[in-house]
Amino acid sequence: RMAEKQEEPSNAQNGEPDNAEEGEEKKKKKLKREDLPPFEIVTGERLPAIFFKFQFRNVEYSSGRNKTFLCYVVETQGRESVTSRGYLEDEHAAAHAEMAFFNTILPKCESSVRYNITWYVSSSPCVTCADRITETLKKNKNLRLTIMVGRLFMWEEPEMQAALKNMKAAGCKLRIMKPQDFEYVWQNFVEQEEGEEAKTFVPWEDIQENFQYYEEKLAEIL
C-alpha cells in the first residue's frame, strides 16, 4: 500500500524524495501535517478498531456518535495514475470531515486530471456539507464522487432531504454501506494488531436489517 511506509523514498521521477507519503500531493502545495491542527489528517494510516466498532455501527439511534469518520480512496488519472487513501475525523470546533477533505486532501482539482473518489463515512453529511459537496461537483465536472454511508443523518428533515437530492442531481452517488462494505473498511482502514493475521470482521447482530432499513429510507428520499 503506497502510503503506509513513509521511510521509503518516493518515486524517483518526482524528484521529491522527501514527499513520499503525499504522492498525489506532489503537484499541489505541500502540506505539512503539523500545519493542520486541529485535524488529524493522516494519509495511509488506520483508525483504531474501537472507533470503527462504535462510530461506524449502523444503528438507528446514534446517540453519542457525534463525530464523522471519513475513509477515502482517491484515484487520479492524469499523465500517471495515482491512488491514495487515508482517513479523516472531525473535531467539533473545526470543520466537518467532509469539508476537511476538500480543504486539505483535495484543495484544488486540476482540469486535466480525472478524479474518482470513494468515501466510506460513518453517517451521511449535514446540510452544509451536502451543499459544499454539490457545489464542488458542479464546479468540477472531472470529479466523480461515490459516498458510502453507514447511517443517514437527520433524514426526516425536509431540508436534509432536499440537500441529499441536490447532491444526487450534481452527480454524487450516495449508497448505504452493506455488510461487505463495512468489512472492506475493516480490512483497509482499521488498525490491525502488529504481527497478527488481519482479524476477520465480525458483523454485529442487526447489521443486515439496519442496512435494509436505511436503504429503503434513502430510496424514498431520492
* DSSP conformation letters of the chain: -TTT-TTS---GGGS-GGGGGGGGGTTS----GGGSTT---EES--B-HHHHHHHT---SS-TT--S-EEEEEEEEESSSEEEEEEEEE--TTS--HHHHIIIIISS---TTSEEEEEEEEEE---HHHHHHHHHHHHH-TTEEEEEEEEE-SSTTSHHHHHHHHHHHHTT-EEEEPPHHHHHHHHHHHB---TTSPPPPP---TTHHHHHHHHHHHHHHH-
User: Is residue 98 flagged as an active site residue?
Assistant: yes
Which is catalytic among the residues 98, 110, 183, 196?
Answer: 98
Task: Give the active site residues.
Answer: 98
